[in-house]
Amino acid sequence: MPRTENDIAIVGYAISPLVRRTEDTETLMMLPTVQGAIKSAGLTKDDIGFTVSGSCDYLSGQAFSFVSNVDAYGAWPPINESHVEMDGSFALYEAFVRLLQGDIDTAVAAGVGKNSNSDPSTLYTIEMDPYYLTPLGADPWSLHALQYQALLESGKATERDVAEVVARNRAAAKDNIHAQVSGDFDVDELLAADYIRQPLRRHDLPPTTDGCAAVVLARGKRAYDLCERPAWITGIDHRIEPHLPTLRDLTTSVSTTQAAKGAGAGDGPIEVAELHAPFSYQELILRESLGLDDQTLVNPSGGALAANPVMVTGIIRMIEAARQIMENGKRRTLAHTTSGPCLQQNLVAILEGDA
Amino acid sequence: MADVVRESVFRLQFPFQRTLGPTVGAFASALADQTLIGVKVGDRVITPPLEYDPENGAAAGTDFVKVGPKGTVTGWTWVPEPTHLHPLQKPFAFAFVTLDGADTPMFHAVDVDSADAMSIGMRVEPRWRSERQGRIDDLEAFVPASDGGPSEGAGDPWSAPEELPVDAMEMFCDLTYVDNTAPATIIWMKSLLEGKLIGQKCPQCERIYVGPRGMCCVDAIELDESHLVDVPDKGVITNFTVITPTPYPGQTETEPFARCSILLDGTDAVLNQQAMLDVDAYDIRVGMHVECVWAPPEERNVDDVGNRGWGVAGDCMRGWRPTGEPDEPEENYVERMM
């Protein structure tokens, strides 16, 4: 398909070490990652038309923590900069929309999260409904255990199916230099482990990870100047469901189905899908909601179970889906990001390489 | 000499008040009265009541009905180790409970002795706190129903009083962080304990950052120990503000005080938010020469120094005092706030 000046592609990227705990601040993680992504596209910081990042003040426990992260961009002379209090993939979405305005032809989107400072079981109660959930200490483990149980009750999956998801992702992660958790695991041994929150076991939870990732986007002809095989974002869509999990059928993800439709997922075969499923069983819900069959390779990177830097996990899915095109010669891939409790919000992007 | 802190516990606490509006406020007012309500939206009763129809976003209205108090467990999980945020400080279940007369479940705790006592389909009823303030945790937890039969009065209309007895909710945020100290910050701490100021000099733009921050934010390059330089603990005031204290949690000042920006001699390095000694706040001038007053070595500590804000000197520094030298021309400093 001939590309127009309004087509936008991923042309460069960088991922920081993804580790249980880093000594660096968010800003110090961002500097080499953002500059590394820019360099990977053969650019310098002065070439970038727009910069946007995703991070969360509650992770760092500091108001306006993203302001000091701007230091990582080299913001002199002054730059165009924006921030979303969300995963870096939503920052990428903003960069995509900004590029569609047509007056600039490059942008950088990044995500950063230092998760090791805080306790996920208490921190994320703050993101829940403040009237009906936060006062009860509704923690993500409990809510996700309830979602997992609903899936089991529906008969759509068994605990063995879910343990197989864990084993497959961890095995796939052996080939991922960025993986924090990987290896060969026996399904029966996984099923023998104790419950953290019945029916969730420790291995069904994502690891706590510090990390940063950045991508460079380019528009039209510029993408070909910067990259031999750009990963064109042919569709991107984001849908949100009610924030209270009690108002949704937790065994399916309507917003994922809608976002996939909006992004044009059904317009052709998908060779690889990188799904953001921080809790193992969610991969099964997402596969069904996306209508993926065995023709699609899911999470060859190991997904969020291999490394889960919150605010970065989604943009890494974008990078992994883009890498399949830029480096592995694939034609059409899908990247997915989730946010909010029990798959509340979902973003789907379709990436394509030239024939 | 005090030890360098490599890890610090940071507790983030703040109170806040939420106004509730006509829907959540009605639910809260009913709770205080030991009553559970839902709102009719389309052909469903949603509990706890929502302000909008989740199907289409239309206003849900205020067609309230009584629900429960008994309900049926439609999903549950066991919490073996409660956190301080949970409603019960013993192992308990979180559950989806569909109250009689409601079409959507509510999330809440169930107090039973073990997971073996939990099952989908079990009938439960509320255990109320004796003192209620109109919060969802006025209902301390559900417990197995003494009688599994249907609730009396479920589905009956419920009218909110003209003036809601509960229209606001107090909350208290309490989060704990264990922050590790960045390498550049540790170098800064060590220099402060020795009573000297250090910075990092960018090899490209030659700007000096005090304290070291591991990067040049103009050229976007990393800096390391090879870029460390000593800087003088004397300088000139480039900017200041006089603050009249207002009472807020944590404020200890009672009289007007100044915070100054100080350009260290022979450098580009400006230290911000510095405290002044031996001078009335209203006598401070741009161009004034000042010098650092260090605390005696045995009194220095860096407990307050961390990654959260550059140039903080903990208790190592008492502040800055005028040297008495003639002022520099004020106009030379007008662009040196930072």
For the segment B130-189, what is each residue's pLDDT rounded down to a tens digit?
999 999 999 999 999 999 999 999 999 999 999 999 999 999 888 999 988 888 888 999
Which residue type sits at B246?
Answer: T
Nearest chain B alpha carbon to A153: B75
Q: Mean pLDDT across the stretch B260-267?
A: 92
pLDDT at residue number B337 = 64
| Interfacial A residues in 165-224 facing B (CB < 8 Å) | 195, 197-200
Nearest chain B alpha carbon to A194: B80
pLDDT at residue number A316 = 98
| Positions in chain A short of pLDDT 70 | 1-2
Check: CB of residue B123 under 8 Å from CB of residue B144. yes
Please list every residue in chain A whose beta carbon sits closer than 8 Å to the beta carbon of residue B104.
Answer: 246-247
Q: CB-based contact (8 Å) between A62 and chain B?
A: yes
pLDDT-based confidence at residue B304 (cuts at 50, 70, 90): confident
Q: What percent of chain B has pLDDT over 70?
A: 97
Write down how long chain A is.
Answer: 355
Separation CA B159–CA A247 (nearest Å): 24
Across the interface, do B217 and A126 touch by the CB < 8 Å criterion?
A: no
pLDDT at residue number B13 = 87
pLDDT at residue number A62 = 84
Extract the tokens encoding A342. 């029990």
pLDDT at residue number B100 = 98
In terms of Cα–Cα distance, which of A159, A156, A174 is closest to A286?
A: A156
Shortest distance, CA B129 to any CA of chain A (angstroms): 14
pLDDT at residue number A80 = 95
Please determine, for residue B4, whether its predicted confidence score (pLDDT) is greater than 90.
no
pLDDT at residue number B11 = 87
Least confident of A148-162, A169-183, B6-20, B79-93: B6-20
pLDDT at residue number B1 = 42
Please determine, for residue B310, whether its predicted confidence score (pLDDT) is greater than 70.
no
Alpha helices in A45-87 (DSSP H): 57-60, 65-69
CB pairs under 8 A between A and B: 153
Q: How far is CA B127 from the centre of its chain?
A: 32
Across the interface, do A247 and B217 touch by the CB < 8 Å criterion?
A: no
Question: What is the SS3 assignment for A106?
Answer: strand
Q: At what angle do helices A88-100 and A313-326 cross, to 10 degrees?
A: 60
Shortest distance, CA B244 to any CA of chain A (angstroms): 23
Q: Mean pLDDT across the stretch B34-42?
A: 96
- Which candidate from A32, A34, A118 shows the least CB-CB separation from B177? A118
| Interfacial A residues in 135-154 facing B (CB < 8 Å) | 135-139, 142-143, 145-146, 149-150, 153
Q: Mean pLDDT across the stretch B243-261?
A: 88
Across the interface, do A122 and B219 touch by the CB < 8 Å criterion?
A: no
Please determine, for residue B281, whether its predicted confidence score (pLDDT) is greater than 50.
yes
Separation CA B139–CA B126 (nearest Å): 6
Alpha helices in chain A (DSSP H): 26-40, 57-60, 65-69, 88-100, 120-123, 140-154, 159-172, 187-191, 221-226, 254-263, 282-290, 303-306, 313-326
Please list every residue in chain B whose beta carbon sits closer than 8 Å to the beta carbon of residue A74.
Answer: 216-220
Separation CA A158–CA B309 (nearest Å): 50
